Structure 1
C-alpha cells in the first residue's frame, strides 16, 4: 500500500467528479488512455477494482473498495494541498513568528518592527512575549530581544549600546553631567534587584558610591512617577526614558557606566523562515536609527 501515488488518487477523484474517464482526461489535460493507465495502476496497488465500467454513455460507478479508497484519498489530497499551501506561505514569509522582548524594547523598537512586518507580510501571525528571565528562554521563541549576551547554544546579533543616564526632577541637579560622588547616600528610585539593577548597583559599588534606595518598581512609568514626586532620582538606560517630560531632566554620569548592550538572540543552527529572517534585517535597521 505504500506505492499509492497522489496523482493516481487525484485522477480517481476527477473520474468520480466528472462521471467518465474521457471528461476526467479533459479536466486534467491528459489523454483518456493516460487516465485509464493511472486507474489501472491504482487498482493494482490496492488489490482490486475501484470502478465498475458499464460502458457506453453510462457513468462509471465506484465499487465498495473504490468507496473506501475515495474517502481516504480525498482526505489525503486535502491535507496534501493544505501542506503545500502552508509551505508556499512559509516561503513567502506569511507564517507565524514568536518574539521575546522586554519592557523598554517593547516601547522603543518593537512597535516599529511590528508595523514594518505587517506592511510587508499582511497575513503574518506575530506573537509577542515580554519577560526578563535570566537566562532567557530562547528555545521558546523564534527571536529574543535581550539586554546582554548569554551562554549556551545561542546565536546573536548586537543591535545597539544603551547608555545609562541619571533622570531627576527638574532643578535637583545643575545642567550637565552629574559626578557619581554627588549621589553617595542620595535618595534613589530603582528597579528590583532581579532586573537590570544589579549592573547599576555594581557600577556604583566599584566607584565607592552607595545611593540610598527609597523605592523599587519593575515598571518604568512607576519609577519616573516617583522621580517626578521628588522622593529621589533614578539611573536608567536611555531606552527606558520614553515618557520623560519637562518636569524631568536627564544627565550623563561622570564617570559614565558601561552601557547596556542590546542583542537579538535565537537558537543556534535554527533555519529562519523568510518572516524571521526579514525581522532580523528590520530590527537591525531600526536599531541603527534609535537616538
Structure 2
C-alpha cells in the first residue's frame, strides 16, 4: 500500500474536502483525486463518498489503520537513517511541560558526565506530540505526564509499538487563588467542585475530560480555555480568579496561589518514559539516569 496514497486519503478524510487536502499537501486537486482513485482501485472498494466528502464504512476502517501504518514507516526510515548516517554521540529527547524539569536537568548532567561531548537536542512538546515523535523515530526518548489511578498507566495515543517505564508518581492538588473561600481547606474532593469555575489547560494541568471521567459527572466545565504550555501563565490565570486547575503537589507555586490536596477520587500525577529501540549506548545511559529510582511515590 503506497504511503503517499495513504497520506492523501487521511488528508481528504480529515479535512472533508479534496481542495483543502490539496492545499494542505501542496498537490493539485486533480492529483489528489488521482491518488484517491488509485487507492480505491488497489483495494477494490470506495473509500470516500463525494457529496459530501466523508469516509465510507470501508474508509472508516482504513482510517483506523492508516495513521499507525505511516508512523511505522517513519520509524523504520528513522532507524535506518540512524544506523547509517546519524552522527555518533547524539540524542534527541522530548518531554511534556510538567514531566519534571529538575529530573530532566539532573539526568542530562549525569549523561554528560558519562559521555562527555555528547550532542543533546531537548524539546518541550504536548503529550501526543511526544508519543508520536517517539513512535516515528523523531525522538530517541520521551517523558510524558498525566493523571491516572494509582495502579494504572497513563492513557496515551495509539501510536504503535512504544515501550513505557514508570518514572515518578506524585499527589495532586487543586490550585486556586490564595484569597479563595476554599484556600484554607485541608483537602478537597473533586465531586464537590463540579460547579466551580475551571480553566481547561490540557497541556499543563489535568485535562478536564479526565476529571469528568474520574468523578463520573458531566460537571467540571471550562470557564476559560488555555491552550499554551507555560505553567507560569496558567498560575497567573488561576491567581487572577479565572478558574481552578489540578496540578502535581510538588510544583513550586507563587505566593498568590494556594494548593489544597485532592482526596477524592483517588488519583495521582504520573510520569512515564517512552522509548522505542535503545540501540544507542547514549540512549541507554539517559534511560538509566531518568529511571533511577524506577518510581518515586509521595502518597
Q: State TM-score, norm by structure 1.
A: 0.58
Deviation at 1:128, TM superposition (A): 1.2
Matches within 5 A, 1:222-237: 222-237=233-248
Deviation at 1:115, TM superposition (A): 1.8
Q: Which portions of structure 1, spanning 4 or more consecutive aligned residues, are displaced by more than 3 angstroms?
A: 192-196, 198-201, 286-291
Looking at structure 1, the residues matched to 203 and 296 of structure 2 have their Cα atoms a distance apart, in angstroms, of: 31
Render the CA deviation track for 1:53-110: whole Å, top value 9, x for unaligned: xxxxxxxxxxxxxxxxxxxxxxxxxxxxxxxxx99x95xxxx1111121111262421
Deviation at 1:279, TM superposition (A): 0.7
Which of these residues, 259, 267, 281, is aligned with residue 258 of structure 1?
267
Deviation at 1:287, TM superposition (A): 6.8
Which moves more between the two structures, 204-213 or 97-106? 204-213
Which moves more between the two structures, 206-215 or 105-114? 206-215
> Hey, what does 2:196 align to over in structure 1?
186
Render the CA deviation track for 1:111-139: whole Å, top value 9, x for unaligned: 22222222232201111122225253212
Looking at structure 2, the residues matched to 186 and 121 of structure 1 have their Cα atoms a distance apart, in angstroms, of: 50
Looking at structure 1, the residues matched to 211 and 291 of structure 2 have their Cα atoms a distance apart, in angstroms, of: 30
> Hey, what does 2:110 align to over in structure 1?
116
**Structure 2 residue matching 1:160: 3-state secondary structure:** strand
Which of these residues, 77, 84, 104, is aligned with residue 98 of structure 2?
104
Which of these residues, 140, 148, 152, is aligned with residue 138 of structure 2?
140
Looking at structure 1, the residues matched to 101 and 204 of structure 2 have their Cα atoms a distance apart, in angstroms, of: 20
Which of these residues, 177, 191, 194, is aligned with residue 169 of structure 1?
177
Measured at CA, do residues 254 and 211 of structure 1 come closer, stay the same or move farther in structure 2, by a change above 3 Å?
A: farther
**Structure 2 residue matching 1:158: 3-state secondary structure:** strand
Measured at CA, do residues 222 and 287 of structure 1 come closer, stay the same or move farther in structure 2, by a change above 3 Å?
A: farther
Q: What are structure 2's unaligned runs of at least 5 residues?
A: 1-84, 146-153
Looking at structure 2, the residues matched to 289 and 107 of structure 1 have their Cα atoms a distance apart, in angstroms, of: 15
Deviation at 1:185, TM superposition (A): 1.9
Q: What are structure 1's unaligned runs of at least 5 residues?
A: 1-85
The answer to whether structure 1 residue 275 and structure 2 residue 282 are counterparts is yes
Looking at structure 1, the residues matched to 203 and 256 of structure 2 have their Cα atoms a distance apart, in angstroms, of: 27
Measured at CA, do residues 216 and 255 of structure 1 come closer, stay the same or move farther in structure 2, by a change above 3 Å?
A: same
Looking at structure 1, the residues matched to 205 and 255 of structure 2 have their Cα atoms a distance apart, in angstroms, of: 27
Which of these residues, 112, 122, 131, is aligned with residue 125 of structure 2?
131
Deviation at 1:168, TM superposition (A): 1.3
**Structure 1 residue matching 2:98: 3-state secondary structure:** helix
The answer to whether structure 1 residue 206 and structure 2 residue 216 are counterparts is yes
Looking at structure 1, the residues matched to 203 and 278 of structure 2 have their Cα atoms a distance apart, in angstroms, of: 36
Aligned length: 197
Measured at CA, do residues 256 and 287 of structure 1 come closer, stay the same or move farther in structure 2, by a change above 3 Å?
A: farther
Looking at structure 2, the residues matched to 249 and 153 of structure 1 have their Cα atoms a distance apart, in angstroms, of: 40
Measured at CA, do residues 187 and 227 of structure 1 come closer, stay the same or move farther in structure 2, by a change above 3 Å?
A: same
The answer to whether structure 1 residue 285 and structure 2 residue 285 are counterparts is no
Looking at structure 1, the residues matched to 207 and 284 of structure 2 have their Cα atoms a distance apart, in angstroms, of: 32
Matches within 5 A, 1:84-95: 95=89
RMSD value, Cα: 3.2
